[in-house]
Amino acid sequence: MPENLMDVMQHPLSVVVLAYLLGSLSFAVIVSKFMGLSDPRSYGSKNPGATNVLRSGNKKAAVLTLLFDAMKGCAPVAVLLHYGAAYGLTEGVAAAAGLAAFLGHLYPVFFKFEGGKGVATALGVLTGISPLLGLAVAITWLGIAWYFRYSSLAALLAAVLAPVYYAMAADGPLWDFNGAIFGMLCVMGILLVWRHRDNVNRLLAGTETKLGAKKVN
């Protein structure tokens, strides 16, 4: 048995589990409750994420949800990539922790495994890998969302392009290519597309809700 907390924190499995538990904090629900708003799982798309919180009409709550959901994805990856090597925690562990935090958001143990679609948390993971990678994907999302007014379409295209951006800029001045991180980005992209499957059907049918639309009661 580990003798102290530091021993536990140096164990890869423990780090991954902690990342999952952090990811399981559904800030859409937490922030909404703290600010006296309706549970985001009760209106609109019923998705506990920043976009649906925005449908409540409270922009501050949506921004806070976005920031906290991104931070819980960013923190484990950034900390492990910067400090993990000193404790024997490799980039592979950082990739696993990032994926665990993302899965925690999708399937949160604290909220009956009913989570959001993971866009903000995925962006946080990307930012933890490199702020420039996160910025590139964020700009992609914003550009597509602004032009087409569909958050889901922007998320789908950004998810597909994230591993492409990573691979294209790898082994250059920005970062070295790492197979575990690239694989994690591909898995996150696949999961994001899967979580947006209903949105894909609505996009094809022309019934998807546009950004700025009032919430559905």
Domain ranges of the chain: 5-205
Q: What phi, psi does 180 have (nearest 5°)?
A: -65, -45
137 three-class SS: helix
CA pair distance 156, 214, nearest whole angstrom: 22
User: Would you state the pLDDT for residue 5?
Assistant: 47
Q: What is the pLDDT of residues 75-129, one digit of tens each?
A: 999 999 999 999 899 999 999 999 999 999 999 999 999 999 999 999 999 999 9
Does residue 1 register a pLDDT over 90? no
Residue 78, CA atoms < 13 Å, CB-side half-sphere: 17
Query: Which of 53-57, 59-63, 125-129 shows the lowest per-residue confidence on average (mean pLDDT)?
Result: 53-57
Does residue 6 register a pLDDT over 70? no
Q: What is the pLDDT of residues 157-211, one digit of tens each?
A: 999 999 999 999 998 888 999 999 999 999 999 999 999 999 999 999 999 988 7
User: Would you state the pLDDT for residue 171?
Assistant: 85
170 three-class SS: strand
User: Would you state the pLDDT for residue 147?
Assistant: 94
pTM (whole model) above 0.85 = yes
